[in-house]
Structures are given as structure tokens and as C-alpha cells.
């Protein structure tokens, strides 16, 4: 920090009590900015403010080590800064209660120049002669509203759109905060939070903005530090597996903060892709790995992928449905509003389950243990000799030809089945899984296969994308039929539950179902266009040429 004017103004010691929720949908965010009444509470008109926060600590993170976050805040064009020293306190739900010390300073000054105060005393006691430096910037556009219980102001209701900045990197997310004011109580905030969850099924945020931003910052830094070495021909397959897993593990962690924020759907997608790559790697390298050593990690990786997949599938449905709506006249774009209400409820449920898993002790333990495991050379490697002491082929140069040809054979095995008339979508889905295995295997060993592998990967990706669009359309049709039958996103799993006697009357949804069924028909009809290049003898010849190069 710069050293300049003396501190002036007020100092304060308070207990901050607030409830925090993640807001991942623009339409819902706008509703929260404008809603006028919620049960017996009334909400005043919102006022927009822009807040610029700079979080400070010493170069060796002394405040963080002592359990504090130090924030310097400027609102609008004000010259004065509000320094807030907050205790970092963990929580398992939406309610946050933290001690905080505040002091207003005239300009950017060192703690030694602050007005004598509890905030100054605590900071100096922790940092000594060290100086404070900027960790990161956080900018917010806040729509703040007063919450009234009769004539009493009990809380402030803020919808915050947040942007965290660290160098060239940005993290964006949105939150609803309900913060107690002087006349309010913990019970007031708790009742409001309970009502909000019941009304909109919002996922609670268990971390402060500081903690979320810091986790994102550290994950990004760790990903930069942990550049995974390239796979070499002389590597053991177990070592190649470790390098592959580390690469995608780092990518998964890099996108975790964005997936938590829920503002950019691609963050969930990228984090999910990383988990898929790791699960595929465990299958590709299976015979060279100790299954028992990897079993607990594979289980939690599967749990992570499932939580991400539930959100991602809903994101895909929304994106493709919005493209459909864009083709309709303006007066028909409201046709799917009943469906959107059900989708929104399911989306918030899936988001809540994802955040609950990411905030869980099991996930935290998984990250710590798997990260350490992947850093350990030789961890999880299967024996390189048989029980009789005979050597087993285990080097990349010796094993890769067999692995690649087997993956290609798994795809080619569908040749007769998928070219028959009236091929089922289930069969095509299984082909997609086999094609994904071949593509991932080529990508895992791209370092040793060279640039010549890229055209083959591109052809398989076209097939995979085509079949992926087909599967998305099939899943969408299932949900649309469930909605028209049950009025719900999915049908009950209890077979004893009978459908309602009357179907849901929603002509717009029925028209959309017909459109997605036509899409399925078109994708099946055009399937040969993307399948033929894979079956062409040229593809196999190019694959064999790759293997003959070394």
C-alpha cells in the first residue's frame, strides 16, 4: 500500500450476520431485484451502488494464517476508504456470523498511520513491520433494498453481481445477501433465509466472497505451477496414467470456482469434461493400475461427475431451447413458460446438490488425498512382473499399439449394427461411448503420436458431436413427455404411482416436443455422413501409420 495521509473518521466493532445464496439465472436475479413483498415482509425500491474492494495481506499471508481477511472498500467516487477486518468463520448453511472491526481512512495508508483503534491494534499485532499488499480486487454492482417488518427495518437485501480480478484473470458470479441491521435479529435473518429457500430453492453459499475468490486464485496459481510433464515413449503406462490424471485433475480444480459461481455455464462444462477425461483414463490404463489403490478416488470422482452432469444437462437443455425460441415469432416465445418454471425448480435443486457436494468434508478430503496421490511417483502402479516373475509389457512404446488398435476395434465392431435400417438410438448411444474411448486414447497419447493424430481426432469428434446432439434430443424428448404427462421434470420412479387422468395442456410444449422429435429423425438420417469417414480404409491406414512411426 502507498504511505500517505493520516487516518480519520470512525471506527466500529460489530457482529455481521447475513444469509447468502447463489443466483445462477438472470431472470431470477431480476425478480429478486424487483420483488415488492414476501409474506409479511415488504421490500423497498432498490438502489444501485458500485463497490470496489481490495483485499490485503502480507506477502506471506500473515492475516490469513491468523484467521482474518482485510478488506479496503470504496463506494462510488468516494475518496475515503472503509477498512474492514473480518474473522474467517466456517459455516455449513446459508447463515454467516462473523466478528468484524472497521475504521474509515482518508486515503491509502499503512496500518501504522491509521487512527488508534482495535482494527489497527489487531493488524499491527499480526503483521508487525511487514507491509500490506494487494491480494486481488473485487468489484460489485449491488442492488440494495431495505426489508421491512411492519414499520421496522430489520435487514438489507442485496443482489450482487461480482467480478474478481487478479492480473488478466476474471471470475464472475452473483449472490443474494440478506444482512441484519441494528433493529434486526438472527431469528429475522434465519426466517427470511428459510422462506427464500422455500420459494426459489436457492443454493446456500457457505463461503464468503473473500474465501471463494481466494480458492479460485489459489487453484489458478496451482494449475500454473503444476504443468504436467509430457508423456514419453519410454514411460511406464502407470507413469503415463499419472501424468494424464494430473493434467485433467489440475484442469478440474481450475474450473471449480467458476462452476461454484454458476454465472458461466461453460465452467461447469469444462469441470465436467475434466472429470470425464479422468474416468476415461482409468479405463484406458486399467490393466496397468492397482484397482484397490484407485477405487476410493474413482468412487468420489464418479460422485463429482454425477453432480456436475446433472447441472450441465440442464444447461444444455436451456441453451438448445433458447435457440428454438429464437426462431419463433415474438408472441409465441411465452409458449414454454410453464415448462420453464419446472425447469427452474429442477435447476436450482441440481445446483444446490452440486454445491452441497463441493462444500462437503468428503469432497475436501478427496481433493487433498487425490492431489497428494497424483504427486507421488509410482503410486497406484500395478506390478510389472507376473506372479511367476516373468516380465509384463508395460512401456508406452510396447503397449500403445495394442491399446489404440483395441479402441479402434471397439468402434469398428458397430459397423454392421449401425448401418441396418431402423437402427435404435440406444445402439447409436453405445457407439458414441466407444468413439469417445478412441478419441480420448488418441488425445491422451498426443505427445508421442504427433500432429498426424489431429485429423483422426477431428473426424472422431465430428462423429461424437453428432451422436451427442442425438442423445441430447432424446433426453429432451423424455423430459418434455414427462412434463406433458406428469407436469414434472421427470416421472416418478415408483412404478405403483399412476399418471394423472388428465394430461397437461401446453400446446407450446407439445410443439417443441415435435420439433425435437424431428431433430432426432434428421440426425439419424444424416448419421452416415459422419460414420463413413471412420469406416473408410484410409482411417485405419493412417492409424497404423502413426504406430509405425516409432
Buried b (16+ CB within 10 A) or exposed e, 159-194: bbbbebebeeeebebbbbbbbbeeebeeebbbbbbe
Q: Decide: 231 and 448 in contact? Cβ < 8 Å.
A: yes
Answer yes or no: is 4 within a domain. Answer: no
pLDDT tens column, 33-57:
999 999 999 999 988 999 999 999 9
Q: Which residues of the chain have a pLDDT value below 50? A: 1-11
Domain boundary among 151, 182, 215: 215
Find all residues with CB under 8 Å of 550, minimum gap 6, and list them. Answer: 233, 397, 448
Q: In terms of domains, do 72 and 119 share one?
A: yes
Assess whether 241 and 158 both reside in one domain: no
Give dist(CA 385, CA 392) in Å, integer.
5
Query: Do 303 and 207 share a structural domain?
Result: no
Domain boundary among 215, 230, 253: 215
Do 47 and 161 belong to one domain?
yes
Compute and round to an integer the Cα radius of gyration of the chain: 28
Nearest to 352 by CA among 18, 24, 31: 24
Neighbours of 3 (CB within 10 A): 11
In tens, the pLDDT along 473-491 reads: 999 999 999 999 999 998 8
Asked if 364 and 465 sit in the same domain, the reply is yes
| Residue 206 contacts residue 359 (beta carbons within 8 Å) | yes
On whether both 267 and 188 belong to a single domain, the answer is no
**Distances in Å between the alpha carbon of 512 and those of 291, 423, 481, 486, 534?**
46, 24, 10, 17, 33
Q: Are residues 208 and 239 in the same domain?
A: no
Q: HEC states along 236-249?
A: EHHHHHHHHHHHHH
CATH number of residue 510's parent domain? 1.40.20.10
If asked whether residues 165 and 293 sit together in one domain, one would say no
Q: Is residue 243 part of a domain?
A: yes
Q: Are the beta carbons of 434 and 414 closer than 8 angstroms?
A: yes
Length of the chain: 550
Range of the domain at 59: 11-215
Q: How far apart are CA 252 and CA 60, in angstroms?
A: 27
Is 434 inside any structural domain?
yes
247 in the same domain as 138: no
Sequence-distant (≥ 6) Cβ neighbours of residue 476 within 8 angstroms: 317, 320, 321, 516
Which run of H or of E encompasses 271? helix 265-284
CA neighbor of 23 nearest in space, from 233, 289, 204: 204
DSSP 120: H
- CATH number, domain with residue 51: 2.40.320.10
User: Which are the contacts of 292, defined by CB distance < 8 A and separation ≥ 6?
Assistant: none
206 and 261 part of one domain:
no
Query: Reduced to 3 states, what is the DSSP secondary structure of residue 423?
Result: coil
Number of structural domains found in the chain: 2
Residues 133 and 234 in one domain: no
- The angle that helices 337-358 and 291-325 make with each other, rounded to 10 degrees, is 160
**Angle formed by the axes of helices 425-444 and 507-525, to 10°?**
60
Measured N-to-C along each axis, helices 396-412 and 237-254 cross at an angle, to the nearest 10 degrees, of 70
End-to-end CA separation in angstroms for the chain: 57
Residue 1 belongs to some domain of the structure: no
Q: Are residues 259 and 201 in the same domain?
A: no
Q: Could you tell me the pTM of the whole model? A: 0.69
Which residue from 348, 364, 30 is spatially nearest to 204, judged by alpha carbons? 348
Distance CA 159, CA 177 (A): 6
Q: Is residue 3 a part of any domain in this protein?
A: no
- Residue 11's pLDDT is 44
Amino acid at each position: 500500500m502507498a504511505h500517505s495521509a493520516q487516518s480519520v473518521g470512525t471506527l466500529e466493532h460489530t457482529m455481521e450476520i447475513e444469509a447468502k445464496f447463489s443466483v445462477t439465472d438472470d431472470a431470477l436475479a431480476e425478480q429478486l431485484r424487483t420483488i415488492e413483498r414476501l409474506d409479511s415482509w415488504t421490500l423497498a425500491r432498490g438502489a444501485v451502488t458500485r463497490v470496489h474492494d481490495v483485499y490485503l495481506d502480507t506477502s506471506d499471508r500473515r492475516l490469513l494464517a491468523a484467521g482474518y481477511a482485510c478488506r479496503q472498500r470504496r463506494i462510488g467516487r468516494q475518496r475515503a476508504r472503509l477498512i474492514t477486518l473480518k474473522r474467517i468463520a466456517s459455516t455449513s448453511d446459508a447463515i454467516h456470523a462473523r466478528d468484524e472491526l472497521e475504521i474509515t481512512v482518508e486515503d491509502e495508508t499503512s496500518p501504522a498511520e491509521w487512527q488508534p483503534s482495535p482494527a489497527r491494534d489487531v493488524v499491527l499485532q499480526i503483521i508487525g513491520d511487514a507491509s500490506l499488499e494487494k491480494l486481488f480486487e473485487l468489484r460489485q454492482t449491488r442492488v440494495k433494498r431495505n426489508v421491512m417488518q411492519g414499520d421496522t427495518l430489520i435487514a438489507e437485501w442485496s443482489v450482487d453481481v461480482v467480478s474478481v480480478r487478479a492480473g488478466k484473470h476474471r471470475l464472475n458470479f452473483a449472490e443474494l445477501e440478506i444482512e441484519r441491521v441494528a433493529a434486526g435479529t438472527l431469528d429475522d435473518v434465519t426466517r427470511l433465509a428459510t422462506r427464500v429457500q422455500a420459494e426459489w430453492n436457492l443454493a446456500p453459499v457457505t463461503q464468503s466472497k473473500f474465501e471463494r475468490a481466494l480458492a479460485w486464485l489459489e487453484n489458478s496459481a496451482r494449475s500454473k505451477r503444476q504443468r504436467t510433464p509430457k508423456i514419453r515413449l519410454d514411460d511406464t503406462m502407470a507413469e503415463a496414467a499419472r501424468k494424464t490424471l494430473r493434467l485433467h485433475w489440475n484442469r478440474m480444480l481450475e474450473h471449480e470456482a467458476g462452476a461454484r459461481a454458476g454465472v458461466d455455464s461453460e465452467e461447469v462444462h469444462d469441470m465436467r469434461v475434466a472429470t470425464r477425461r479422468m474416468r476415461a483414463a482409468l479405463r484406458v490404463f486399467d490393466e496397468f493400475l492397482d484397482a484397490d489403490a484407485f477405487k476410493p478416488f474413482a468412487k468420489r470422482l464418479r460422485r463429482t461427475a454425477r453432480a456436475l452432469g446433472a447441472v450441465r444437462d440442464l444447461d444444455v437443455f436451456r441453451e438448445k431451447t433458447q435457440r428454438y425460441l429464437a426462431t419463433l415469432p415474438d408472441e409465441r416465445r411465452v409458449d414454454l413458460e410453464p415448462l420453464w418454471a419446472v425447469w427452474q425448480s429442477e435447476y436450482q435443486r441440481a445446483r444446490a446438490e452440486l454445491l452441497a457436494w463441493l462444500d462437503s468434508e468428503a469432497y475436501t478430503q478427496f481433493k487433498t488425498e487425490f492431489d497428494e496421490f497424483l504427486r507421488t511417483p509410482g503410486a497406484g502402479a500395478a506390478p510389472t512382473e507376473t506372479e511367476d516373475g516373468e516380465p509384463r509389457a508395460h512401456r508406452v512404446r510396447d503397449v500403445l499399439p495394442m491399446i489404440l488398435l483395441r479402441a479402434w476395434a471397439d468402434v469398428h465392431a458397430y459397423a454392421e449394427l449401425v448401418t441396418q435400417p431402423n437402427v435404435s438410438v440406444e445402439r447409436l448411444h453405445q457407439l458414441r461411448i466407444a468413439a469417445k474411448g478412441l478419441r480420448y486414447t488418441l488425445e491422451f497419447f498426443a505427445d508421442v503420436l504427433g500432429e498426424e493424430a489431429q485429423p483422426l481426432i477431428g473426424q472422431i469428434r465430428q462423429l461424437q458431436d453428432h451422436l451427442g446432439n442425438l442423445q441430447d434430443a432424446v433426453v429432451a424428448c423424455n423430459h418434455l413427455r414427462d412434463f406433458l404427462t406428469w407436469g414434472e421434470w421427470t416421472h416418478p420412479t415408483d412404478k405403483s404411482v399412476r399418471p394423472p387422468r388428465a394430461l397437461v395442456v401446453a400446446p407450446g410444449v407439445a410443439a417443441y416436443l415435435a420439433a425435437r422429435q424431428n431433430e432426432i429423425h434428421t440426425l439419424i438420417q444424416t448419421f452416415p455422413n459422419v460414420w463413413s469417414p471412420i469406416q473408410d480404409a484410409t482411417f485405419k491406414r493412417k492409424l497404423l501409420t502413426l504406430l509405425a512411426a516409432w
